[in-house]
Amino acid sequence: MEIWINPACSKCRSAVGLLDAEGAEYTVRRYLEDVPTAQEIRDVLGRLGLEPWDITRTEEAAAKELGLKDWPRDAGARERWIAALAEHPKLIQRPIITADDGTAVVARTEEAVRDALGRG
């Protein structure tokens, strides 16, 4: 499994701590440094079963500058949202764990991390 983290994020540190405590094997991706491509974001969205606006941090400064709250949330705007996430990775909700079974979770709670662990 892989976890996308921002080391400055307390939720990310908690998720990594829980993975370590459970002896999980995983790879860390510091997504602000190793920025996901638009295709990788599409893939993760498919694994999450979510749309790009569902994993966007709309309170970030970049989101406000872009006016994201006013962007349409429909199929026609989907690629615009994905491009914004690829261009401004700080907008991506974190942490995201991609499980070995092909699914993914936004692991902001201990329950979500444990869910990912259960998916192996």
- What is the distance between the alpha carbons of residues 120 and 68, in angstroms, rounded to a whole number? 34
Catalytic entry in 1, 3, 4, 9: 9
12 is catalytic: no
Strand ordering across the sheet containing 27-30:
27-30, 2-5, 96-98, 104-106
Active site residues: 9
